[in-house]
């Protein structure tokens, strides 16, 4: 099944972007069919085959500069790609984002030697990354992290704990946010690339409501040694590196939510057009038709805000408010659309045999991960001078 045809969905896209969207959706339809997604989700297994297929077609190189072996794609290209992948599977989009954006953006701060070591395997899909920031006592307040990195000769020794780390269980390397100066606030933050097989490093999977295919983990660091050469950026410069990546992260989260909104609509529409009640298709009842109208408005608003933010970034602007607004609107609309999709499908939508319940579970984390909606609103208000 492909998405409902709608000329508005092509407006503003280049021929290459339309081809990119159609190509990646056709690829995923072959290598990750619906029944496979459901089976992997139920088993809590990572979509290795689909991830490697994306790598073979060159998609892991999309956000990286050509000097690093990447494709040098624009931010608009990135938004179109993530939206297209998430239309097929929001979890597949997260699997790609974890390495290509969350871990990969930190790799940009590494030495040329470190990039040369990691990038070839990353682009081939053989080297996966995860990003370790959140801790049991610090989520949104990133400057308050407690994980310490203490210098010992040419190494640093890391001690601490991270939590809710996506895909850490399948990562080869972890981009770990630490404090190298304990009482220096954000000025004491340093990021290291840590081999996931390092002695003293333990990864423990967690059980979550959704996103079971790419589930989250606890990561424990018990005197884990990492060479100083694996520092991603200068000592104490981790905060600025984190801040530079926020627009990209929020853009991608908005694009993923936008794509999933449309998938929810398409699946609910296919069901509703076949479902009858009282001798009529249920879409003929205003209560159902208006739900679809509301879902369509939410999806269009999410997509428009996402594309606008991407275009501003491509123009060289720093659209903090715009990426933040896009993230809030898209993720909140995604969760609402999933809830309405279940309501339209009734008992069928609530059953584990249909995908709608998975969309509902997966969408709920969108307003939490990457900065809660409450934190995002605070950022927007501050940008307004309040």
pLDDT band at 243 (very low <50, low <70, confident <90, very high): confident
pLDDT per position as a tens digit, 266-314: 999 999 999 999 999 999 999 999 999 999 999 999 999 999 999 999 9
Torsion over CA: 1, 166, 193, 178 (sign): positive
**Average pLDDT of the residues in 152-165:** 97
Query: Where do runs of H (alpha helix) occur along the chain?
Result: 15-31, 34-43, 48-56, 75-88, 90-97, 104-107, 112-124, 238-244, 246-274, 286-314, 320-345, 347-350, 356-363, 373-383
- Angle CA(367)–CA(299)–CA(372) in degrees, nearest 5? 10
Buried/exposed 308-345: b ≥16 CB within 10 Å, e otherwise? bbbbbbeeeeebbebbbbbbbbbbbbbbbbbbbbbebb
pLDDT per position as a tens digit, 260-277: 999 999 999 999 999 999
pLDDT at 6: 66
Q: Please name the residue that has the structure tokens 């008992």.
A: 347
CB 248 within 8 A of CB 101: yes
pLDDT band at 244 (very low <50, low <70, confident <90, very high): confident
Whether residue 381 is predicted with pLDDT greater than 80 in this model: the reply is yes
pLDDT per position as a tens digit, 42-78: 999 999 999 999 999 999 999 999 999 999 999 999 9
pLDDT band at 242 (very low <50, low <70, confident <90, very high): confident
**Average pLDDT of the residues in 198-219:** 96
């Amino acid at each position: 099944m492909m998405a409902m045809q709608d000329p508005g969905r092509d407006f503003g896209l280049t021929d290459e972007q339309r081809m990119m969207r159609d190509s990646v959706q056709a690829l995923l339809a072959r290598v990750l069919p619906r029944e496979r997604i459901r089976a992997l989700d139920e088993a809590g297994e990572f979509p290795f085959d689909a991830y490697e297929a994306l790598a073979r077609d060159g998609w892991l190189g999309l956000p990286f500069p050509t000097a690093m072996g990447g494709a040098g794609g624009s931010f608009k290209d990135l938004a179109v790609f993530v939206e297209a992948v998430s239309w097929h599977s929001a979890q597949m989009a997260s699997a790609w984002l974890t390495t290509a954006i969350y871990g990969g953006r930190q790799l940009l701060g590494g030495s040329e030697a470190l990039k040369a070591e990691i990038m070839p395997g990353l682009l081939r899909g053989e080297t996966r990354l995860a990003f370790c920031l959140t801790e049991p006592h610090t989520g949104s307040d990133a400057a308050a992290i407690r994980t310490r990195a203490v210098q010992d000769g040419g190494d640093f020794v890391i001690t601490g704990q991270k939590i809710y780390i996506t895909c850490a269980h399948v990562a080869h390397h972890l981009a770990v946010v630490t404090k190298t100066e304990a009482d220096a606030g954000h000025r004491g933050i340093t990021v290291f690339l840590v081999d996931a097989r390092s002695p003293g490093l333990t990864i423990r999977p967690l059980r979550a409501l959704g996103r079971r295919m790419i589930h989250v983990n606890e990561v424990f660091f018990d005197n884990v040694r990492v060479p100083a050469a694996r520092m991603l950026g200068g000592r104490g410069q981790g905060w600025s590196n984190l801040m530079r990546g926020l627009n990209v992260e929020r853009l991608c989260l908005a694009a993923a939510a936008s794509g999933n909104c449309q998938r929810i609509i398409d699946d609910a529409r296919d069901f509703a057009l076949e479902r009858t009640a009282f001798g009529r298709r249920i879409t003929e009842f205003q209560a159902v038709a208006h739900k679809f109208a509301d879902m369509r408005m939410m999806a269009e608003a999410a997509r428009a805000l996402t594309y606008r933010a991407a275009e501003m970034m491509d123009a060289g602007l720093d659209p903090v408010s715009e990426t933040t607004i896009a993230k809030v609107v898209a993720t909140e609309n995604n969760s609402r659309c999933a809830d309405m999709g279940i309501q339209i499908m009734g008992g069928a939508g609530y059953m584990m045999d249909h995908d709608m319940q998975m969309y509902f579970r997966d969408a709920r984390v969108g307003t939490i991960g990457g900065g809660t909606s409450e934190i995002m609103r605070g950022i927007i208000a501050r940008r307004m001078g309040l």
